[in-house]
Structure 1
């Protein structure tokens, strides 16, 4: 009887063993992708970090779910530059996959680029766009940056650490330690690299180990994520200057808020007026519908037309419609701020709207006598925060400027 019972259980034991081995092989592949020795699997800080993440797994998988449209696009961009797929989790560590993420140090986007680094990798930042928040362009920039760090240091885990603390800081640490061995660089007593960086590489590896653990996913409520990330993706469409996101959202039947979420690099709900062929992202499943329905329309057929009357100036008109005077100037290709009676101006707000209401909870239109200090005090928000949200280098602001607050 006992022998018969054992024979019944044998397949279960074999299956459990195969599952364990299979998962162990996946863990080894994760470490190999970072050029890390297998012994790192037994790092106590790493395992503690992994367990803490699993104990709050809803947070981890909620981030994965929110980014399901971005993930295939990110993986494709990483592959394009031969960066291991596991570096997907570097973006998770940096921003939790939030394209609108920004820091007090003025880093922004999925990969938390600083303005100078972003410009070095040709990410455009101006009145209309911040391409650090572009999921595709920022990922390609990050991949190029990581590749250059890998070329410099020779190992992917060193590239990840350098991404966090800087190449110069890591070079000094390696010189001081006399080795680039991860176990020595992460020594908690010697502190060759900052605490943040010691935790940073462990966090990325921990996320990667969890994300590759199909066994865990299969026995959890998140099983659907195993295939979902491969079933959805982004499509890039090219739009001309001034094209309205609201018109596109109605055309393809996607809520404007969802379309804006995919295009956080656009500071307004329209394509920059200076562009003739600008990248905008829609769900891939909507691409066929877009191609069937879309046709170019002159911007005057999309937006409201304002006829200049006595006493009008760009600042006044901007306040009236909640649009920066600079935007009105750019949209109408004005060389000066001088206006003439009965001149027709395109105002980039929906045609049906007689006046654009600006939500003062999120935006502020600069008035005469305003300064960053006065706005900071009035709205109880730091000057640095205002600067970081609006990409301001100094303290110069102009009447009619639209400042983003509390995003």
Structure 2
């Protein structure tokens, strides 16, 4: 039974007691004292993880009342909220390296099994209410399967198949015994999952007892729900409700774009704004839901000329107006000209760039493919995110967006690339830190090198006395200067160097060679990564 969570429970949510509706499903045993598996996690949350756990407690005030209401409706123990705490810290925007998403960290397949939709407009794994309902039903299924909450949690983390095999392999249905025997089979993350959850629950129930004083709990999330018809810009919705664009975005984290889906959609609005919104929304002309103006087509105009005039992709203009960009425009018709997307969504317009597909051939590299199509390697990786790994292979299909017209190039370049952003951040960090970096606990050479846009080899060269087998927290590392000192220690000292990148294992014919001019900040590592070859081969060539 949940006790407290710092007093953030909603007044509308009653606190059931033993023998109430939880009598059908046993509550989750949360001990009053920690065992030797739980205590290290309590120690961690009280020390190195205290700042992060404090944020979790503060954010719990926003989402826990809603989660408790849903768990009660699903007739499940309230203590299940602590799974969301250790999965994401109650963060609906959380995204893991394994591509799990949302406050309950659903993988795509599991989310789909429990009715969470993912498409170009929405990812319902990020919807706090819908994902909580899905998590409750998933956990209920797991408990029905194992009849044990600790095994259900392990199954939530590792998957039912993994835990089923572990039960057969170690001939036990006791989580603690299984986690002791499961060295080399169960991942440390799974073995620590239950102890971590118990530690989080013990602290959250009695935060002051564990040194978490004066927690500033966020206010419970409250909203009105209105069904709208037809695709609408979120900025228009905000104006109709008399609130900020950020307010609409924060209440609807499942929306992936700055517009609603092009069908009916239930939108969440700040509590108390529904009447004002409905009055203003009903007064809109249909084109005003997406557009800032209408354009009357003149003789000789087509989508390409309008795209150039309004600096929007022709495919996007056509979609907003529910027609094909291939159709001829009739003189005199009125077209909706949509607003430019907010700056943080500029790259979303890439989806409307003309697309072609390329089949990888033997001997291809991403660098050669990019050069052949007049685009960058980073763009190809961006367009094929999730489909291109460290290597490409013959027969693989790669999506290429053609450059198109000049106005598209202006749109595509309006926002700095991720690499440019890292480079600018690196320069800012160098200036701020005076050319040195103080090593923090948990940092690696790879992270530091990436932060300052340099190589591990260069850091080792500049800090022979500080970098040994392990990095010492508190050590001050010299950094390559932004001027003069090269990040490439192995390259010849010429103002411009041509690096040959040759097809591996093939004769060095003229057609097999790409020349790369070394730019400031380049290293052999970054060059080898760009062309999908090894540093050893670069040195040999």
Say yes or no: TM over 0.5. Answer: yes
Structure 2 counterpart of 1:44: 36
Aligned ranges for residues 108-257 of structure 1 at < 5 Å?
Answer: 108-187=101-180, 190=183, 193-216=186-209, 220-222=213-215, 224-225=216-217, 229=219, 231-257=220-246
Comparing 91-100 with 369-378, which one deviates more in the overlay? 369-378
How far is 1:383 from its partner? 6.8
- Per-residue displacement from partner, 1:263-291 (whole Å, max 9, x unpaired)? 12112222211x22x22223435456656
Are residue 344 (structure 1) and residue 334 (structure 2) matched? yes
How far is 1:364 from its partner? 6.0
Structure-1 separation of matches of 2:87 and 2:287: 41
1:317 to 279, 287, 307: 307
SS in 2 for 1:157: helix
Structure 2 counterpart of 1:5: none
Q: What TM-score, normalized by structure 1, do the two folds share?
A: 0.73
Structure 1 residues 279 and 360: alpha-carbon distance in aligned structure 2, compared to 1, 3 A threshold: closer
By relative contact order (CA 8 Å, sep 6+), the higher-ranking structure is 1
Aligned ranges for residues 345-364 of structure 1 at < 5 Å?
Answer: 345-349=335-339, 355-356=340-341, 358=343, 363=348
How far is 1:260 from its partner? 0.7
Structure-1 separation of matches of 2:281 and 2:81: 33
2:100 to 104, 107, 114: 107
Structure 2 counterpart of 1:300: 287
Contact 2:57-2:204 at 8 Å conserved across structures: no
Structure-2 separation of matches of 1:82 and 1:144: 10
Are residue 62 (structure 1) and residue 55 (structure 2) matched? yes
SS in 2 for 1:280: strand
Are residue 78 (structure 1) and residue 67 (structure 2) matched? no
Structure-1 separation of matches of 2:274 and 2:209: 34
Are residue 334 (structure 1) and residue 319 (structure 2) matched? no
Structure 1 residues 156 and 288: alpha-carbon distance in aligned structure 2, compared to 1, 3 A threshold: farther
How far is 1:143 from its partner? 1.5
How far is 1:210 from its partner? 1.4
Structure-1 separation of matches of 2:261 and 2:227: 12
Structure 2 counterpart of 1:18: none
Hey, which of these two has a bigger chunk of helix by percent? 1
Give the count of matched residue pairs: 361
Gap regions ≥5 residues in structure 2: 1-17, 19-24, 359-365, 389-396, 422-541
Structure-2 separation of matches of 1:140 and 1:333: 35
Structure-2 separation of matches of 1:376 and 1:116: 32
Structure-2 separation of matches of 1:290 and 1:361: 27
Structure 1 residues 167 and 315: alpha-carbon distance in aligned structure 2, compared to 1, 3 A threshold: farther
Structure 2 counterpart of 1:3: none
Structure 1 residues 165 and 308: alpha-carbon distance in aligned structure 2, compared to 1, 3 A threshold: farther
Structure-1 separation of matches of 2:98 and 2:277: 39
RMSD: 4.1
2:350 to 362, 365, 369: 365
- Per-residue displacement from partner, 1:126-154 (whole Å, max 9, x unpaired)? 22122121111122112111111111111
Gap regions ≥5 residues in structure 1: 1-28, 350-354, 389-393
Contact 2:384-2:399 at 8 Å conserved across structures: no
Structure 1 residues 76 and 357: alpha-carbon distance in aligned structure 2, compared to 1, 3 A threshold: closer
SS in 1 for 2:100: coil
Contact 1:72-1:233 at 8 Å conserved across structures: no
- Per-residue displacement from partner, 1:307-341 (whole Å, max 9, x unpaired)? 4453533797399554682x544543336741313
Structure 1 counterpart of 2:267: 280
- Per-residue displacement from partner, 1:34-79 (whole Å, max 9, x unpaired)? 644849x432231111121122333222234345433322222222
Structure-1 separation of matches of 2:98 and 2:304: 33
How far is 1:369 from its partner? 7.7
Structure-1 separation of matches of 2:349 and 2:343: 8
Structure 1 residues 113 and 294: alpha-carbon distance in aligned structure 2, compared to 1, 3 A threshold: same
SS in 1 for 2:38: helix
